[in-house]
Structure 1
Amino acid sequence: MNEKDIELIEEMIEHGDEVGARNAFSGLHPADIAELFQSLDIKEAEWAFNLIDDKEKKADVLMELDEEDRKKLLENMDPEQIGHFIDLLDTDDAVDLIQELDEEDREEVILNIEDMEQAGDIVDLLQYDEDTAGGLMGTELIKVNENLSMPDCLKEMRHQAEDLDDIYNVYVVDDDGRLKGVLPLKKMITHPSVSRIKHVMETDPVSVKADMPIEDVAIDFEKYDLVAMPVVDSIGRLVGQITVDDVMDEVREQSERDFQLASGISSDIDADDSVWAQTKARLPWLLIGIIGGLVNSVILGGFESQLAAVTALAFFIPLIGGTGGNVGVQASAIVVQGLANGRLELKEFWNQIWRGLRVAIINAVVISAVVLAYTMLTEPGDYALCFAVSASLFCVVIFATVFGTLVPLTLEKLKVNPALATGPFIQITNDVVGLLIYVGMAVWMLNIFPH
């Protein structure tokens, strides 16, 4: 949908053209309608939403909306209306919607779901942590018994497919519901009269446990190039499936959260959130940064006499702080990325520290040598300054690299989001420690080479 189409429909809504808006919505994809709603105020959005005739499209539009916009629409609906929409959604989407409701509203909405089987599935799924495979999966799938013949299998598939929008895989289970294999559609064509499904199914399919973290599920999807993956319980029974679109949505949301955390934003916010919401999210780390700055001023206050004696020492303070911050963020970003894509595991804790230390030594030698050469040229004969700056940089690079490697690994071990280590925490710490190193090194050098 281009900008002209959007402007045209917005004009229809602005002028209350029900017929024109209704006809326009009938030919639009739910995602396009949701995009259009972002530019409307709540009253206009409610009015336009009620003009969508197709109930299933209406439910899809609801799920395509941003969480905040969806919440505004749901606030003005009674539990019975919400229950009707949930009847039209896949179970994974239905669970996501219910989890966004207030605790007191959830039970009432579930009671208004007409399809009791759907309601039962939703109640079961709500038991899972939303950050696990169980919290992401849906129960809509096709499963057949391994002892069925191909003709019987096809009959069973037709029966189950009536309630499904998409078919990704046909899962094969035993009499106890345990996942035994996957039946490719090609096998149905090439083996139309096979005696038993179990003779042609693909055994040992890639699956995940219901309690597996979503990050690990995403890694498996990428590793095996899957579009859908079965989910099993602790004893191997098939309980649902996860599709690639659900994984991509979750990965995008996780990436946004990590980026905001790395930028010093303490909660999930959008550009159109209220001033108060954005302030609450941004202020904590700004205050911590202020504290770090005040600590630096105290350190410099204790260094006042040395700065007065050698004013050139002050010129290199930004260099020390900036280098430490950059090196620390680089080191932590590499570790966070490795943890996120599964290429780095916690069992490699000390190996990664040792690898980071070797990189740090090489970088520190090069950086300190370049700065030593520069200061020797610009401040000839001032050995205290030259060696203080270059030696401080050497130590700061070593510290920042090891600290930037150690912190995300430690946070991961403590089950805290390691993306925190790529943000202000690393920069502030390296600023303070770097300045302490510089002050200590300068005092030492001034004692060795009196000015």
Structure 2
Amino acid sequence: MTPFKLTDELLAEIEQLIENQKNADLKALLEEVHYADIAEIANELDEEEATYLIKLLDSDKTSDILTEVDEDVREAILSNLSSKEIAEELGELDTDDAADIVGELPKEIVQEVISEIEDREHAKDIVDLLRYDENSAGGLMAKELVKVNENWNVLTCVKEMRAQAENVTRVHSIYVVDNEERLKGRLSLKDLLTTSTTTHIKDVYISNVDWVNVNEKPEEVAKIMSKYDLEAIPVIDEVGRLVGRITIDDIVDVIKEEAEKDYQMAAGISQDVEADDSIWDLTRARLPWLFLGLVGGVGAAAIMGGFEAMISKHAILFFFTPLIAAMAGNVGVQSSAIIVQGLANDDLKGSVGNRLIKEMLLALLNGVILAAILLLFTWFWKGEFLVALAISISLIAVILVAGFIGTFIPLFLHKRGIDPAIATGPFITTSNDIFGILIYFSIAKIVLGI
């Protein structure tokens, strides 16, 4: 399959067809184009053109397009559709995607849209999903699944599965429940096909099944599904009833969003923003950490001011200040990045103390190697062994402290329930800069006897 590429020529052709209202030609052009690619096209069109495209194409395709377009584009399109038109789109979607779209609608039209959905059971399932926190397994799950009762025989089971599968896009698993709808296990398709039609399901189902509670965090669901290589996982409520399932495509979105958030936090952006957001939104997201950097710089300058006499006597110390600050920041970010990655993947082993000791030994080894190189360079460059020694010893101490801070801070934040990704950004860099400068000049003062 040749990857789709949106060219200026294709976009111009589509815009021209829309302007001239050549609907037949436009439909023919987009007939074989995947809905995700049409969503890419819609993102580049203006509001009226995108709405025209959605109204022109069939709902079975445009419903999927609406789930793929940018959030602001979807909001603009929906604002130009009637409640009945929105309901037609929702009717073609799985309940989880439909609930996500309903959750974005203005509150004053939600009830009207829900009432326009022809499939009342589908509408009921959407309303049911809306009561869950969006940052939970309940808010992530879909109601579409295939379930069978443990008291049915195989023949009844097959008939019921056929009826249920009509409303399920992909059948990943067959779940077994009791008369109270409590999850009991899963059914192997092989066992179903090789077992007598009169055999009861309770005699052949597999009781070992992974599940998550409706209140579980999406990040935890992602860890479970990743660990056990699951394509789907059932969701149960507080009393063990099967209420939905989460599929791998939803988890991929969770992982992507989490990675984007962590990347922004590591870059010193405190809110979830995009390049197309307003200048004011982007400023609010960036300014707090930039202010922290300003405070850190002022603090470092104040510390250096306290050693003004020593710097005047040994000016070379001043020239190595950027190196010390950079090494402190780099080591701290490296240490914190490893810890944050381990916490995110849930593969950190051993106690906090053992982790700190390991990082300290690693920092010491790196520090000694780098300090030896710096000692030789500075000694041959300036011919002042004592000054070179002071700078090199300071480098070792700075690297040790930076390694400790970079390891301890994310572990501490994690224990406090705070996202440790914050420790890989300007916070850790600024704190290490300040401590690094203070340690550098303090050790230099001791070694040089000033």
Band of TM-score, shorter chain: over 0.9
Tell me the alpha carbon deviations over residues 307-332 of structure 1, each in whole angstroms, 9 at most, x when there is no partner: 11111011110110110111011111
Q: Say if 1:31 and 1:399 are closer, same or farther in 2 by CA, change over 3 A.
A: same
CA shift at 1:234, angstroms? 2.8
* Superposition CA RMSD, Å: 2.1
Residue 375 (structure 2) pairs with residue 381 (structure 1): no
Q: Secondary structure at the match of 2:61?
A: helix
CA distance in 1 between counterparts of 2:110 and 2:292 reads 38
Residue 429 (structure 2) pairs with residue 427 (structure 1): yes
Equivalent residue for 1:42? 47
1:48-447 equivalences under 5 Å are 48-52=53-57, 54-344=58-348, 348-383=351-386, 385-447=387-449
CA distance in 1 between counterparts of 2:289 and 2:249 reads 34
CA shift at 1:349, angstroms? 2.8
Q: Say if 1:354 and 1:113 are closer, same or farther in 2 by CA, change over 3 A.
A: farther
Code of the aligned partner of 1:421:
A
Q: TM-score if structure 2 supplies the norm length? A: 0.92
Code of the aligned partner of 2:364:
I
CA distance in 1 between counterparts of 2:339 and 2:233 reads 28
Deviating more after overlay: 122-131 vs 106-115: 106-115
CA distance in 2 between counterparts of 1:366 and 1:273 reads 46
CA distance in 2 between counterparts of 1:224 and 1:353 reads 30
Residues 15, 49 of structure 2: 8 Å contact kept: no
Code of the aligned partner of 2:361:
R
CA distance in 1 between counterparts of 2:112 and 2:266 reads 39
18, 30, 34: which is aligned to 2:23?
18
CA distance in 2 between counterparts of 1:16 and 1:402 reads 66
CA distance in 2 between counterparts of 1:81 and 1:111 reads 12
CA distance in 2 between counterparts of 1:368 and 1:244 reads 49
CA distance in 1 between counterparts of 2:20 and 2:280 reads 33
CA distance in 2 between counterparts of 1:382 and 1:145 reads 83
Residues 147, 176 of structure 2: 8 Å contact kept: yes
Q: Secondary structure at the match of 2:44?
A: coil
Gaps of at least 5 residues in structure 2 are: none
Q: Secondary structure at the match of 2:148?
A: strand
Q: Secondary structure at the match of 2:245?
A: strand
Percent of matched pairs sharing the same residue: 44
CA distance in 2 between counterparts of 1:436 and 1:237 reads 59
CA shift at 1:208, angstroms? 1.5
Q: TM-score if structure 1 supplies the norm length? A: 0.92
Q: Say if 1:392 and 1:14 are closer, same or farther in 2 by CA, change over 3 A.
A: farther
CA distance in 1 between counterparts of 2:444 and 2:20 reads 72
Tell me the alpha carbon deviations over residues 163-214 of structure 1, each in whole angstroms, 9 at most, x when there is no partner: 2222111111111211112112222322252511122222211111222221
CA distance in 1 between counterparts of 2:326 and 2:336 reads 15
CA shift at 1:422, angstroms? 0.8
CA shift at 1:285, angstroms? 1.6
CA distance in 1 between counterparts of 2:272 and 2:21 reads 35
Q: Secondary structure at the match of 1:139?
A: coil
Q: Secondary structure at the match of 1:217?
A: helix
Gaps of at least 5 residues in structure 1 are: none
Residues 137, 212 of structure 2: 8 Å contact kept: yes
CA distance in 1 between counterparts of 2:384 and 2:254 reads 60
Q: Say if 1:208 and 1:390 are closer, same or farther in 2 by CA, change over 3 A.
A: same
Deviating more after overlay: 234-243 vs 140-149: 234-243
Q: Secondary structure at the match of 1:229?
A: strand
CA distance in 1 between counterparts of 2:119 and 2:353 reads 54
CA shift at 1:260, angstroms? 1.0
CA distance in 1 between counterparts of 2:139 and 2:314 reads 62
Tell me the alpha carbon deviations over residues 364-388 of structure 1, each in whole angstroms, 9 at most, x when there is no partner: 22222222232222232341x2232
Across the two proteins, how many residue pairs are aligned to each other?
445
CA distance in 2 between counterparts of 1:93 and 1:219 reads 22
Deviating more after overlay: 395-404 vs 272-281: 272-281
CA distance in 1 between counterparts of 2:215 and 2:281 reads 32
